[in-house]
Chain A
């Protein structure tokens, strides 16, 4: 989780990732932020995040993102 929070804070430092759970639904992250997050996560965790994973639920909270990362890593 620490690593993920570090990555997220590098992209947008003005967000309280630990407590927000509607990052996409409430429009806190915009499309450009989401794409930056996806490209960072792909690099840092060496995973392929596909278009099928691009749902609001997967990016609404740091926890959801971590779950998605773990799931993709398991599938590989």
Chain B
């Protein structure tokens, strides 16, 4: 059931009605039932995977909690004269026990994800290697439909296990409430990647109907529909035409550049629009989901972009990969080694250069099992690592050239530069394969087609977006841009709108609704196209 379908709207209204009518202590059960019904729409067999991950994670969490509780009671029973060493010994023993459970359960969760999502990729590569050596063996591929949202719920589950193991919060006692955290229907398709101590706790609490929450949630959903159906799905045909495997060679650099722009627009509006719908739906139920986007295309550096795009994935990586790797024994040892040799700068640089490669490799692989995603990850890592390594050089250069970095023009320059650098990584992902991607990037610099750029020959309208649709897209993008700039200045649009006179307010709501209904792109069966991130 797609979030953009009328079926989903009906489902949400029904769930919300039941949710606010039943006694509040059963609200979690309504959401759990709704989430599993929603999940069933994606297939019956797949449900086994999410149930499996839920059970493993819940039980391991409980086990770690009981070890810790046990430790606390043992500590309390120790005689007063017991020395520091005795206490430390006990703590060490308990921590080791917890670490073992934590490690085992994280690996189990991860294993399910890896088998379902990555095993075929590994098998294909092994077969290719066999072929290279003229070895006539072929490992059979497995035939599993990837369960809906598996990357998202597995990451949430692993985060929970690591946090409980670290003693950040207590494990959830209630299996039903925990199962709801893993499967909550607005977030199961494409995130955000929630934290248990935030969203998990909210889901277990009782919620009174609040008109403002309901209204703001509905508005956010409408804004999401606008981004997804009016913009993303309108740009989609041009993207698939320009980047199609059989056709791309017919085009030139300027058309690829146009394709890149359209794809940047599509992927942002598709993903952030989907997140707006999810956050809006949750807000209607009184649940506040974390932000996942903060106008990422206004970023002044690639590192900043990754703090503003898919924020919850970045936060997950920072918390569970970046910091642990940076503080790990091998990395600190290398760092210490250089420090002892008196090379303080290198000691500082080594971890900052190594870690982005690990993190971005994982972010790449997270997006899918293919070499192009790995290339995408490594490209981003190279940019981030080199910008950290070269920061002092850039600083000197800026001083030497006497550039005032506190100006609007410098900001715009940095924003455009970042956008273009990221454009290359977008082409890496969207092109049919790596060779095609390199051809496209090279052509952008070597083939400039002014007739196309200025629309003299009308070819721009032959790529899947005709003149009429291009006009709608253009106006919609201006609306999106204006809203984004206003948000960038710190304005809270929904709150400001709520303060306006009733006639004006409702005029805006109605216009927005009509725009989405009239200009929304409806695919087969009157459902909009699938979300891109649904596949990740």
Contact = CB atoms under 8 A, between A and B. Distances in A.
Interface in B369-413: 388
A19 interface: no
B167 A51 contact: no
A64 interface: no
B327 interface: yes
B46 interface: no
Contact of B323 (A30, A43, A51): A51
A32 B303 CA distance: 10
Contacts of B168: 55
A35 B339 contact: no
Interface in A6-39: 27, 30-32, 34-36, 38-39
Interface of B is mostly: helix
* Chain A facing B: main interface SS: helix
Given A52-B166, A52-B167, A55-B168, A39 B323 contact: no
Interface residues of A, number: 17
Given A32-B352, A43-B339, A52-B166, A38 B327 contact: yes
B167 A31 contact: no
A43 B339 CA distance: 10
A35 B335 CA distance: 12
Interface string B334-358: 0100010000000110011001000
Interface in A32-73: 32, 34-36, 38-39, 42-43, 49-52, 54-55
Contacts of A36: 348, 352
Nearest to B356: A32
A54 B323 contact: yes
A69 to B, nearest CB: 16
A54 B318 CA distance: 11
Contacts of B215: none
A54 B307 contact: no
A52 B326 CA distance: 13
B127 interface: no
Nearest to A55: B168
B330 interface: no
Contacts of A32: 303, 352, 388
Contacts of B7: none
Contacts of A54: 319, 323, 327
A39 B351 contact: yes
Contacts of B335: 39
B324 interface: yes
Interface string B275-315: 00000000000000000000000000001000100000000
Nearest to A39: B335
A55 B168 CA distance: 9
6 contacts: A27-B307, A35-B355, A36-B348, A51-B323, A54-B319, A55-B168
Given A32-B303, A38-B326, A39-B332, 14 more contacts: A27-B307, A30-B303, A31-B318, A31-B322, A32-B352, A32-B388, A34-B323, A38-B327, A42-B332, A51-B327, A52-B167, A54-B323, A54-B327, A55-B168
In the A-B complex, the 10 residue pairs with the closest CB atoms? A35-B326, A54-B323, A52-B166, A31-B318, A51-B324, A32-B352, A51-B327, A31-B322, A32-B388, A51-B323
